[in-house]
A and B are shown apart, each in its own frame.
Chain A
Amino acid sequence: MAKSTASERPFPYHTMNFPYQRTLDALVTRRDYLRLLVLTSFGLFVGTAGVAGAALLNGPTAYPRTRVAEAAALPAGKALNFVYPTADDPAILVHLPDGRFRAFSQTCTHLACPVFWNAARGRLVCPCHEGIFDAETGLVVAGPPPRPLPRIALQAEQGSIYAVGVTR
């Protein structure tokens, strides 16, 4: 059977293998694209709200109130190791040079080495891989740790420092 010529065929030859209709292009109008963008905008808002929801769930977890130390027994610029919330969770209480107290989990978020207070640098330092944390916020200042140190919520009462919860 002789092959038909282009002028005889009612549609381009390639459409036998690729049945793509050029007119389908026109189905996505500018207004459709606009609606899609607004839908995307809604999706991004929902995503951001999801992050906020996760932040809400990640708030301080309350644990039994535990007395950590006498405030007067820990001079400014010094630190004290303790365990909280369980005996298997080492923690560190730091009396910052400006007088405020901060407490963090002592477990480095990189490979779980214990961090210690470096008074000369005013930072919490992990000696294993030189991870450095801000002693006020627990945020990573330098090194490989991927996350800040879990912070232990403190309460001061009648000269004593109490641990009351953990923010991971």
Chain B
Amino acid sequence: MMTKAPDDRRGAAGKVAAVHAQLVVVLAIVALQLWLITVALNEFFLGNLDSVWSLTIASGVLFLVALGVLFAHGE
């Protein structure tokens, strides 16, 4: 009896599921970044200028993760 190769199991439904997973992760990242920019603005107007840089770095890391997720499935 022949068995399917691992790649054959990824049909159209599998590809759609993978894109859905990417969407969920990137949506969560965008939501986090929205929160970060809100906190950054709040800190800026409060005068806590030091913490704004760490928030920027966190936002940049999240963007890189989103970019990695985008290219994770042969984009």
Contact = CB atoms under 8 A, between A and B. Distances in A.
Interface of A: 30-31, 33-35, 37-38, 40-42, 44-45, 47-49, 51-52, 54-56, 58-59, 137-140, 146-148, 151, 167
10 contacts: A34-B70, A37-B27, A41-B63, A41-B66, A44-B30, A48-B55, A48-B59, A51-B37, A52-B55, A55-B49
A58 B59 CA distance: 21
A72 to B, nearest CB: 30
A38 B67 contact: yes
B47 A139 contact: yes
A139 B16 CA distance: 50
Contacts, number: 95
Nearest to A167: B47
Interface residues of B, number: 33
A34 B44 contact: no
Interface in B15-73: 16, 19-20, 22-23, 26-27, 29-30, 33-34, 36-37, 40-41, 44-47, 49, 52-53, 55-56, 59-60, 62-63, 66-67, 69-70
A45 B60 contact: yes
A48 B56 contact: yes
A46 B54 CA distance: 14
Given A31-B75, A52-B53, 4 more contacts: A45-B59, A48-B59, A51-B44, A138-B47
A34 B41 CA distance: 26
